[in-house]
A and B are shown apart, each in its own frame.
Chain A
Amino acid sequence: DAGVIQSPRHEVTEMGQEVTLRCKPISGHDYLFWYRQTMMRGLELLIYFNNNVPIDDSGMPEDRFSAKMPNASFSTLKIQPSEPRDSAVYFCATRLAVGTDTQYFGPGTRLTVL
């Protein structure tokens, strides 16, 4: 299995632009999590899905952030408009529903907003 796939790996954009981060989960995993990692705040959970349905988005910092999971094979995290303080590494992680508590992380997308 290829593991969790994220794209792009690096994104540099200018303030005010729309940014879309993409995640392909491990096949058969029922849970999908979006995290943001910064030096100051560590790993923060932004939102998670179960069977493509958003369960808890209380970690999404502002209305500028939105996430979708249109099917079991794909999820997006969108920032519109982007701001310099959004610069961080964004991780997608997935997990089976039963039999394990392990979350499998993708390689992350390093976002820089100028």
Chain B
Amino acid sequence: QQQVKQSPQSLIVQKGGISIINCAYENTAFDYFPWYQQFPGKGPALLIAIRPDVSEKKEGRFTISFNKSAKQFSLHIMDSQPGDSATYFCAARGDSGYSTLTFGKGTMLLVSP
């Protein structure tokens, strides 16, 4: 059973464009939604996170939009740069124990120069 569904699997965006990655969840007990960024050969690293009491959080070129009623959240990367090329994982906390994260399957983003 996939608790967090992420789409698309892969994405190609032109430099300067907007990258959008979507996630949907099923469990209403989830209360923390981070996005992790992973470069080849490295471990994932926290990029940005949101809690369900706000609908949007922005940090630089990265924005999370959160729709509690639809149980969906998305990552927007404005002015995408080749250096943003990486795999992005959405995640949610609160399912099996308050300490663990359930991850989406990841989106491989390629920003072409």
Contact = CB atoms under 8 A, between A and B. Distances in A.
A95 interface: yes
Interface string A84-114: 0000000101010000011111111000000
Interface in A26-72: 31, 33, 41-43, 45, 48, 50, 55-56, 58
B96 A105 contact: no
Interface of B: 32, 34, 36, 41-46, 49, 89, 93, 96-97, 99-106
Contacts of A55: 97, 99
A107 B42 contact: yes
| Chain A interface mostly | strand
Interface residues of A, number: 23
Interface in A8-37: 31, 33
Given A101-B34, A101-B93, A43 B103 contact: yes
